[in-house]
Structure 1
Amino acid sequence: MRVAVADVGTNSSHLLIAQSRPRVEGGDTPGDSLGYRVLDALKDRTRLGECLDPQGHLTPEGEDRLAGALTSFRTLSQAAGVPELRVYATSALREAPNGAEVARRAHERTGVYPAVISGEREGELTYLGAAHSVDFGPDNVLLDLGGGSLELARGGPEAAADVLSLPLGAIRMRRAWLGHDPPTRAELRALGDAVRAALIPHVSRFAARPGTRMVLSSGTAEAAAALLAAGEGAAPGSVNGLPVSTADLGALLDRLRGLSAARRARLPELGGRADTIVAGLGVLHAALEALGVAGATVSEGALREGMLIEELGRHAAFAAGLSARQRSVLEVAERFGANLAHARQVAALAQDLLARLAAAGESFPPEAHSLLTAAAGLHEVGQIVAQSAHHKHAAYLIRHAGLRGFTPRETELVAQLARYHRRSAPKASHPEYAALPPADRSLVSRLAAVLRVADGLDRSHAGGARLSGLRRQEGGWTLEVGGATPLDLVGAREKADLWAREFGPLSFQGLT
């Protein structure tokens, strides 16, 4: 399985394309032990932090930069044979008052939706990426510095248990505290004081304990490690796993502070960070001192690696739980290049909706779950023929795909469910639908109603929507949804027409 993920930050955006592979313990490269092999990567220095108006709104120039990056990422991922590109946006869009609108317009322009995630979610995923890049022990503290925010995460070998996001990013702090080129000592002291003041209420949560492993994950930390290694006569191809002492970082900070931005730009190790390196190092050094840390390990694994690992893990768990005939569905979906991540999410939402309807008193035959799951997995296979009318193409392909374990009647029902996942609802004027026995017509219409809502709830293809409750009340139903993007909620409302016909009006309550 191939996966493409990207993160959109305040300073830069990154794409990662990888192929899943069997885990190889003790391998020579990070990918050997992570269960994937990197096929391609691309970095776009979008600098969205430079494109904010006085009220913090992302400007049209910023939207153009974002659209350009997303277009490049999508082009590269499609060339690699990956139908789905999952994109998470962090501080720049998260804090912009128009961030949700920017994400919507970006989707309209590029076909890619940058889902805006919380600082806590960002910290969890970055911790996951770092945990698979360097050796984590029983107690670890990760500091991940971006352009707009600093995430701190504490946890065990695999997952974070406590995450904090603070507005202490390198670009933000440079603008707030460093007004001269080169910065003055007084400015740098003021920046450090601001960092320490912000951390004081949280020191007990993230301070070093006996045996704690401190880890730094950021472009700033990588650049600093490369500079320190170069100063010792080394030129490592990778800085992953290199230790850096707090004292050495402080000395490097003092050295770089005395250089103008133009002189810093001549240092190849900075990789385009000449204007933010002093602020970034100032934040990291002050944070390590506040936490009582003598040194830390640099991790090249970050948010996008965490996204990748999570996506591969979800697919592996999904595939492992399939029955023999559902594995046949997965094989057909893969053969026709379906978006497996979206199919998996829609299947999970559809199954949950069906179970909640049944718990509320709606009656379905025993076969309903299997038929709905198969249709959810295959509802978009028709896109291999054409985007236009792909629901009709999907029905044709399903009928002739040779699904194993399904009777001819069941195959026809799955085909019709996929046909009605969008556009027109089932009608007596549709020949294939009219040819079904009355009980099967009712089953197709009711299950298609569920499938349409489930598909709408992943309109963004961000895979974040989760159902929290379904209540029947006078006048209809209310569905409580957590983790959905604004686009997901719009998509579900637009596709609730058949649900209203079959079960009654459906309203949505988005939960944060």
Structure 2
Amino acid sequence: MKIPRASGGLSGYEMRLATIDVGTNTALLLISEWTPEGLRVVHQAGGYVRLGEGLGTSGRVSDAAMGRLRGVLQAHREAARSWRAEHIIVTGTSASRDAENRDEIRKMVLEETGADYQVLSGEEEANVTFEGALAGWLDGRTYDGPVTVVDVGGGSTELAQGMWHKGKAERTSAVSLNIGTVRLTENFFTAQPAQAHEVHQCRAWIAGMMDAALGDFLKCVPLVGASGTAHVLFHLHRTHREASGNMKWVDLDYWATELLIKTKEDIHALAPSRMAGRADVFPAGVMVLKEAFRSLDASEFHISEYGVRHGMALRYFRELQIG
């Protein structure tokens, strides 16, 4: 979608792009531009949509969820206009892949943003996340070797691994697993805190999926988290445990255990602004991160501020340069 520029000049202005990642639980906006140094983040915003609510039972995104999505898309469109983005890209992931009424979502996206709705396959999502996450994690960092990226979403979890060598990344493996936070919470937990047998069944399910899918992945390499779940977990670890740096197995084990015995209200109170629309599904997300770390026998857990929307922006700007 081409957006009319607001009147008045903008010092140092270069072409700006809006990328919107419509996930199972949130719809995230990035306004970015390309500079000689690479991608520059201009503005970011989020919005709670919970498209996956009841999706596993009905097979459809509900009217209530569609209404939430419309409101968030309208807000993101206005932000794109305000920040003078010239083009909008909108992508969908797990919930949109699964929904029988995905064409209704596509129509709404076109109505509210003027953009075609690009529903990514699981492998495409893993690849785009890998590109985006590494760009954020490696910014100013000296590293050479293998790395794994994990993105825990509301409907699915993507893992991608590759080699970083002399400033270039080569992806070697990628998988998408239907073990997202909303999906797991609805399928396994009847209350919060969850009952012990529910936790056991959920953990066994996640572990089985991970171990079956990650056999070709290298072990004992850094694991980089690229999702909201990972971002919020790092925030909790730094504020409530007064910790700094990367996380180890013992840290993930601590938080997975601690969160599973708390009520939704207790979890929300840990970080009210960050837990909005997330507190009820957050324990399941941390369980996924813990099992990914275990299955990969990761050396340590890092965080990247970039994800799908950043990866899509990188691809767009690079294609412009090539073209």
Are 1:214 and 2:223 matched, yes or no? yes
Q: Secondary structure at 2:109's aligned position in 1?
A: helix
Aligned residues: 299
Counterpart position of 1:102: 105
CA contact (8 A) 1:191 1:283 kept: no
CA contact (8 A) 1:137 1:213 kept: no
Higher strand share: 2
Select 1:163's aligned residue among 170, 174, 189: 174
Quote how far apart the aligned CAs of 1:293 are: 2.4
Q: TM-score, normalised by structure 2?
A: 0.86
Counterpart position of 1:445: none
Quote how far apart the aligned CAs of 1:122 are: 0.7
In 2, the alpha carbon distance for the partners of 1:71 and 1:160 equals 35
Counterpart position of 1:425: none
Partner letter of residue 186 of structure 1?
H
Are 1:203 and 2:214 matched, yes or no? yes
In 2, the alpha carbon distance for the partners of 1:187 and 1:74 equals 41
Higher helix share: 1
The higher-RCO structure (CA 8 Å, 6+ apart) is 2
Change (3 A) 1:86 1:152: same
Partner letter of residue 147 of structure 1?
G
CA contact (8 A) 2:54 2:62 kept: yes
Q: Secondary structure at 1:44's aligned position in 2?
A: coil
Q: Secondary structure at 1:266's aligned position in 2?
A: helix
- 1:335-354 equivalences under 5 Å are none
Quote how far apart the aligned CAs of 1:74 are: 1.6
Q: Secondary structure at 2:198's aligned position in 1?
A: helix
Change (3 A) 1:293 1:39: closer
* Higher-Rg member (1/2): 1
Quote how far apart the aligned CAs of 1:292 are: 2.0
In 1, the alpha carbon distance for the partners of 2:296 and 2:40 equals 36
CA contact (8 A) 2:93 2:119 kept: yes
Quote how far apart the aligned CAs of 1:51 are: 5.6
Counterpart position of 1:59: 62
Partner letter of residue 301 of structure 2?
A
Counterpart position of 2:151: 144
Are 1:7 and 2:21 matched, yes or no? yes
Quote how far apart the aligned CAs of 1:257 are: 1.4
Q: Secondary structure at 1:297's aligned position in 2?
A: strand
CA contact (8 A) 2:49 2:68 kept: yes
Quote how far apart the aligned CAs of 1:207 are: 4.2
In 2, the alpha carbon distance for the partners of 1:263 and 1:192 equals 22
Q: Secondary structure at 1:155's aligned position in 2?
A: strand
CA contact (8 A) 2:110 2:116 kept: yes
Structure 2: 5+ residue runs without aligned partners? Answer: 1-14
Counterpart position of 1:248: 251
Q: Secondary structure at 1:164's aligned position in 2?
A: strand
Structure 1: 5+ residue runs without aligned partners? Answer: 24-34, 237-241, 319-512
1:297-329 deviation per Cα after TM superposition (whole angstroms, max 9, x unaligned) = 1112111111111111111222xxxxxxxxxxx
In 2, the alpha carbon distance for the partners of 1:53 and 1:200 equals 23
In 2, the alpha carbon distance for the partners of 1:40 and 1:201 equals 39
Change (3 A) 1:153 1:178: same
Q: TM-score, normalised by structure 1?
A: 0.56
In 2, the alpha carbon distance for the partners of 1:37 and 1:287 equals 30
Identity of aligned residues (%): 29
CA contact (8 A) 2:162 2:173 kept: yes
Q: Secondary structure at 1:156's aligned position in 2?
A: strand
